[in-house]
């Protein structure tokens, strides 16, 4: 049996004014393509590499970046300001708009070193909001857009209703503490049993090795400021990836957002047996398959009038 090719990671750094941002790259081999460049955008409570380059012994293709690099994509992720290896010194709460600024800086840098003009962009949870706002601001930089665990207005969301009870606390400070129990709660709040203990433990280890607190801005935005994006202004081909068990957004909320997207090249995918944090679930190969299918879809020959 032939061993899977090793995928080498490369660290990069760029600046947003005086803020230093960390980027991580895993590229396709020379013979693999590439099919395009994927930009992965992380969520509210963890940096980018634990989410997209998680290594779990015995869990084949545990790293989404490795998996997509082997499929022929060049893959990148970036730690938003206030997360992971990126700077944390400013007295701000790193809200969704700040994250969209970070994506602008990251794509400026990747364009300068790799010549990439347009990205296959995937965001999860608040990362989906960051990615959507970035796509709204810079449609020319988004070739295709995937929104996983996305929320639009927040109506009908039990998770946000519960989180709003702590809104005064989140507004009173720039950061909130996280620990192992908090990371585990991500996998129990919607539907216990969708992720295995070894993966959850490895995920917690990777997150807590980089952060013991994270910014409050995305929580404040999702509790008090939705909607943050206008579907009518998102012109890229878009897929909504909705897990079966996710109380962050109702189906009705997402279906209405989907209906208003103007590009007819759009999809709505429901992922069975999966809760929040889809790449760390037992059924993680389902989002991998959906995402690869969407990213590799051929452009239409006939578009109509």
> For residue 64, is it within any domain?
yes
Mean pLDDT of 209-220: 98
More confident of the two residues 2 and 236: 236
pLDDT band at 303 (very low <50, low <70, confident <90, very high): confident
Q: 0.85 cut: is pTM over it?
A: yes
Of 31-40, 97-106, 110-119, 277-286, give the lowest mean pLDDT range: 31-40
Tokens describing residue 173: 């400070």
> For residue 4, is it within any domain?
no
Question: What local confidence, expressed as pLDDT, does residue 29 receive?
Answer: 67
Of 201, 116, 149, give the one whose Cα is nearest residue 41. Answer: 149
Give the CATH number of the domain where residue 240 resides: 3.40.50.1820
Write out the residue range of the structural domain in which residue 88 sits: 9-295
> For residue 3, is it within any domain?
no
pLDDT value at 167 more than 80: yes
pLDDT band at 4 (very low <50, low <70, confident <90, very high): low
pLDDT band at 33 (very low <50, low <70, confident <90, very high): low
What secondary structure letter does DSSP report for 161?
A: H
Q: How many domains does the chain have?
A: 1
Mean pLDDT of 49-74: 96
Alpha-carbon distance 23 to 76, whole Å?
Answer: 7
> For residue 194, is it within any domain?
yes
State pLDDT tens for residues 243-271.
999 999 999 999 999 999 999 999 999 99
pLDDT band at 293 (very low <50, low <70, confident <90, very high): very high
Alpha-carbon distance 40 to 13, whole Å?
Answer: 16
> For residue 206, is it within any domain?
yes
Alpha-carbon distance 111 to 19, whole Å?
Answer: 19
> For residue 303, is it within any domain?
no
Tokens describing residue 227: 């909607």
Alpha-carbon distance 291 to 269, whole Å?
Answer: 10
> For residue 162, is it within any domain?
yes
Alpha-carbon distance 59 to 81, whole Å?
Answer: 30
> For residue 29, is it within any domain?
yes
Alpha-carbon distance 278 to 203, whole Å?
Answer: 12
């Amino acid at each position: 049996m032939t061993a899977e090719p090793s995928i080498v990671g490369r660290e990069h750094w760029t600046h947003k004014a005086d803020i230093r941002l960390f980027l991580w790259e895993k590229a396709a081999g020379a013979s693999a393509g590439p099919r395009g460049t994927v930009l992965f955008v992380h969520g509210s409570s963890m940096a980018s590499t634990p989410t997209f380059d998680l290594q779990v012994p015995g869990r084949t293709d545990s790293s989404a970046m490795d998996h997509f690099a082997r499929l022929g994509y060049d893959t990148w992720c970036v730690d938003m300001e206030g997360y992971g290896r990126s700077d944390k010194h400013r007295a701000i709460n790193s809200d969704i708009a700040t994250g969209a600024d970070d994506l602008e800086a990251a794509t400026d840098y990747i364009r300068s070193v790799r010549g990439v003009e347009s990205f296959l962009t995937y965001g999860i949870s608040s990362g989906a909001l960051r990615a959507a706002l970035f796509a709204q601001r810079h449609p020319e930089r988004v070739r295709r857009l995937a929104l996983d665990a996305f929320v639009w207005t927040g109506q009908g969301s039990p998770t946000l209703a519960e989180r709003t009870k702590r809104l005064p606390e989140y507004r009173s400070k720039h950061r909130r503490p996280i620990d192992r129990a908090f990371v585990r709660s991500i996998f129990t709040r919607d539907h216990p049993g969708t992720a295995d203990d070894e993966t959850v433990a490895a995920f917690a280890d990777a997150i807590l090795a980089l952060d013991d607190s994270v910014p409050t801005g995305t929580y404040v935005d999702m509790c008090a400021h939705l909607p943050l994006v206008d579907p009518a202004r998102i012109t890229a081909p878009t897929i909504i990836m909705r897990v079966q068990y996710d109380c962050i957004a109702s189906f009705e909320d997402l279906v209405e957002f989907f209906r208003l997207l103007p590009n007819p090249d759009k999809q709505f995918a429901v992922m069975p047996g999966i809760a929040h944090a889809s790449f760390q679930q037992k059924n993680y190969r389902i989002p991998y398959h959906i995402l690869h299918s969407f990213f590799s879809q051929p452009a239409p020959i006939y578009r109509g009038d």
